[in-house]
Structure formats: structure tokens, C-alpha cells
Amino acid sequence: SQQGEEDPQALSIQEGENATMNCSYKTSINNLQWYRQNSGRGLVHLILIRSNEREKHSGRLRVTLDTSKKSSSLLITASRAADTASYFCATGHTGTASKLTFGTGTRLQVTL
């Protein structure tokens, strides 16, 4: 079953604009990760934020985590056409020691 719900399901923006995707989850987490998937390909890890962290940056990516609201957001600044992909949040849970539970994904389209 999917742990997270992502919002919006689809997002279309123009190159240079910022894209914000949100993820909500249901149960306590150890960490939350964001992955990117190009059509028909495997997933690529983008960034990991631990439950005791509130914000993390990596290049043009900014991730926030609010454990009280069980939510996270991914901001991509100055988007490029090459950012067109699906983006998934995935949660890791204390005690499971292994699997990640993925959300339903946001499909981002960046147009020229």
C-alpha cells in the first residue's frame, strides 16, 4: 500500500519558474526521501531528510519536513526542461530497517 499522498498529482510550469510538490504521510518516520523518475526508467535518489531535521538543500533542491503535520515539500528552483519527470516521496520507518514506502507521485512538466 502507498504511505504517502502527493500534491499536486500533476504540475505544468515554464522553464525558469519554481516548482513545489507536497507529500503527506500517515505514520511516524525515521526519514523521508525524494526520488525522481523519467518515463519508463528507474528511480534516482535526490535527497534524504531525517526526522530530526527540518530543512535540507542540495543544489536547486530544497526539502522541508514538518513531522507534526506529517508532511514534506520539495522545491525545485529555476526549473529546466530536463527537470520534466515524476517525483516521488518515500518514507522510511523505525523498526522496518529496510523498505521504503512510496507516495503516488507528482508528474512535473517543464515547458520552454
Partner 1 sequence: DTGVSQDPRHKITKRGQNVTFRCDPISEHNRLYWYRQTLGQGPEFLTYFQNEAQLEKSRLLSDRFSAERPKGSFSTLEIQRTEQGDSAMYLCSSSRRGGTTNEKLFFGSGTQLSVL
Q: Which residues bind partner 1 (CB under 8 A)?
A: 1-2, 4, 30-31, 33, 35, 40-45, 48, 88, 90, 92-94, 96-105
Q: Report the residue number, 15 or 84, with the smaller CB distance to partner 1.
A: 84
- Minimum Å distance from CB 83 to partner 1? 18
Rg of the chain over CA atoms, in angstroms?
A: 13
Of the pair 4, 72, the CB lying nearest partner 1 is at 4
Q: Closest approach of Cβ 112 to partner 1, in Å?
A: 25
CA distances (Å), origin 40, targets 6, 36, 37: 20, 12, 8
- Show the cell assigned to 79: 526549473
Q: Tell me if 21 sits within 8 A of 88, measured CB to CB.
A: no
Q: Is 42 helix (H, G, I), strand (E, B) or coil?
A: coil
Closer residue to partner 1, CB minimum distance, 31 or 84: 31
